[in-house]
Amino acid sequence: MQQYEGLERAEIAAYPLEFSGAGGEYFRVWIVNVLLTLLTLGFYTPLARRRTAQYFYGHTLVADSPLEFTAAGRRMVVGFLLFVLLYALMKAAAKTGQNTVVAVMLLAGAALAPYIWGSAMRFRFNATRWRGVRLQFTATWGEVYRASLPAFGLALVWAAGIALTGALARAGQGRTRVALLLGLAVAVLALTLLCIIRLEYNYKSLMVARSRIGGQPGRWKPVFGDFVRIWLATAGVFIATTVVIGGLLVPATLGGSLALLRGGKGGLMPVLLGIAAGLAMVLLLFLASAPARAYRDARMFRLVWDNIGVSDIARFKCHLRPWAYVRLRVKNIVLTLLTLGFYRAFARLSEYRMKVDSVTLHVKGGLDQLAGQLAREEQAVGDAIADAVGLELIG
């Protein structure tokens, strides 16, 4: 038995993923995209996204072979123009007082949101290839809409919260009413968070479990509780960061504001005080949220890539360190602010590199055997309607 297990372990080969892009090289791609997007009033956006995807995919090496992004630019432009047209029609209806039309369009958008998301996944998967074998997203529309139920639950939670808030506001004064309003606010926020977590879990699990490379299905191991724990830890990081940064910023802001009040001679000082306090609060939230968001991104990335695979023939392992990623994100934000945004390209590339370089592909058997098996079993799966109108881009 031990000899057999040793042989089985020996047959599993490890292939670390690698990102070969360079900051200066990607900066040229990024700055051209920014300039053309500005010159075309935003209409270059889909082509900019395509160039960006091609660069990152082409420099992401999986077992020494790069990924490919093969999406047609024309289809991406059609999808973008359709989205812009629908948005312009809704804004025009709102400005001309056609509230019924706006309401119908909003409801239709909400009903179509899962379809748009599913079409986007089909498009992105079908446009991704490795060694000539493409990825596929094979979830049915019923599965997509069932996975999207938390989004509809979120809408119901907020609708009920608004209705109950209005009813309590008309109930008159009293401590009981205030306590009920606070309890309602806490309940709405808690249910909102649970809906968001569940929606993220449903979508990620569906993306992996219903993905195919060749004829092989994806394998998904995380459970909902894993996502909840990451979100709770993220909330703890946010609170701790807010307390630390608030302890540094609030005394300085209050001291400066009190000095303005003591030296003021007119009614301008209270206005300046309010502006200073408001700006300090915005800065505090921005600074406090950045480490928390980076921490959540890193924890979620590691959870997913440490627990997925391709059938029983390949699996991924991830050793991304969340706090190292947080430090990188904070450094990137500081440098981006100091360079008036021009460091953004280098920041994005460095964060992507840290993620990719933390993942290792473990393959049972030889790599050439795996690639050959995937190529033989590849099956064409597509969505004719989504492909025709290009809706798969939106989302």
pTM for the structure as a whole: 0.81
Query: Does the pLDDT of residue 276 top 70, yes or no?
Result: no
Structural element, H or E, at residue 311: none
Query: Does the pLDDT of residue 394 top 70, yes or no?
Result: no
CA angle 20, 23, 26 (to 5 degrees): 85
Could you tell me if 63 and 362 are in contact, meaning their C-beta atoms sit under 8 angstroms apart? no
Convert the pLDDT of each residue in 294-323 to its tens digit: 999 999 999 999 999 988 888 999 999 999
- pLDDT of 5: 43
Convert the pLDDT of each residue in 196-242 to its tens digit: 999 999 999 999 999 988 778 899 999 999 999 999 999 999 999 88
Query: Does the pLDDT of residue 266 top 60, yes or no?
Result: no
Contacts of 363 (CB under 8 A, 6+ apart): 12, 13, 15, 63, 313, 314, 370
- pLDDT of 274: 62
The single residue listed with the structure tokens 């993306």 is 207
Query: Does the pLDDT of residue 380 top 70, yes or no?
Result: no
Convert the pLDDT of each residue in 74-115 to its tens digit: 778 787 788 788 778 877 877 777 777 767 777 787 888 899
